[in-house]
């Protein structure tokens, strides 16, 4: 609840854990995404609370899950849909795979594949559920391509995307100093469509802040200064 100091910890799919604290409303759940390669092929994984599965299925046009398997300590749900891309008229056969645990789920989708092939891919990922989120630990033949990100909506501020800071990111910062906040320097910029966004460059975190519609942009620096963000040490 806004006005009271609270702290939350979210786990990204690569195992990194991010702590957010402050007086802003931090009660919303988060999602995480990561890209992995399995036998040379690129796959994108998304995790979140269990209800995210139905949201993704609806967005893809999957009307329901027609297979249910016990897998990796949880339940693997398989759904399918055939879509025709507008304009190109290309037909796509999509298989949606959802691993569901106690509180969280892991989601991936495949094109023109079978349940058996999807299971083989997922079996290389070392899927694990923790109290603070999902993580994968790829085995032989698979690998994480880049650090995972965590996305979370903070009411009154905007959509936050957090990841670990890196040298390539630092080269994209302007030459002047940003505004100092409790979690790092804050820089303002614009998306390609002209919409504003902010980058919070911390000692060990890199956070993109996209303000919600109706957010007073002049208040964003003060709101961000109410937020602490840090990378926890263990993975």
Short-list 53, 69, 50, CA closest to 114: 69
- What pLDDT, on the 0 to 100 scale, is given for residue 52? 97
The structural domain count of the chain equals 2
Read off the pLDDT of residues 194-231 as tens digits, 9 standing for 90 and up.
899 999 999 999 999 999 988 899 999 999 999 999 99
Are 97 and 122 contacting, i.e. CB atoms less than 8 angstroms apart?
yes
For residue 96, CA distances in Å to 29, 48, 80, 85, 215 come to 22, 15, 6, 17, 35
Q: Are residues 165 and 118 in the same domain?
A: no
Please check whether residue 90 lies inside any domain of the structure. yes
With 90 as the cut, is the pLDDT of residue 104 above it?
Answer: yes
**Beta-bridge partner residues of 147:** none
Last residue of a domain, one of 129, 144, 159: 144
Please check whether residue 198 lies inside any domain of the structure. yes
Please check whether residue 74 lies inside any domain of the structure. yes
Tokens (6 digits) for 14: 């690569």
Last residue of a domain, one of 144, 172, 190: 144
- Is pTM beyond 0.75 here? yes
With 60 as the cut, is the pLDDT of residue 1 above it?
Answer: no
């Amino acid at each position: 609840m806004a006005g009271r100091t609270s702290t939350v910890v979210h786990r990204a799919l690569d195992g990194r854990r991010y702590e957010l604290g402050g007086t802003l409303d931090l009660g919303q759940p988060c999602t995480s995404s990561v890209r992995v390669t399995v036998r040379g092929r690129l796959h994108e994984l998304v995790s979140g609370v269990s209800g995210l599965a139905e949201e993704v299925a609806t967005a893809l046009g999957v009307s329901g899950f027609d297979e249910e398997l016990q897998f990796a300590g949880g339940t693997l749900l398989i759904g399918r849909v055939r879509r025709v891309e507008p304009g190109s008229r290309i037909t796509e056969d999509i298989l949606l795979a959802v691993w569901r645990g106690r509180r969280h789920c892991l989601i991936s989708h495949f094109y023109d594949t079978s349940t058996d092939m999807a299971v083989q891919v997922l079996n290389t990922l070392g899927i694990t559920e923790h109290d603070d989120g999902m993580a994968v630990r790829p085995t032989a033949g698979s690998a994480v391509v880049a650090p995972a990100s965590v996305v979370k909506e903070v009411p009154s501020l905007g959509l936050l995307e957090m990841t670990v800071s890196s040298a390539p990111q630092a080269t994209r910062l302007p030459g002047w100093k940003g505004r100092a906040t409790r979690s790092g320097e804050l820089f303002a910029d614009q998306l390609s469509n002209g919409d504003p966004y902010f980058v919070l460059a911390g000692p060990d975190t890199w956070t993109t802040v996209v303000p919600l519609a109706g957010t007073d942009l002049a208040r964003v620096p003060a709101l961000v200064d109410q937020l602490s963000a840090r990378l926890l040490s263990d993975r």
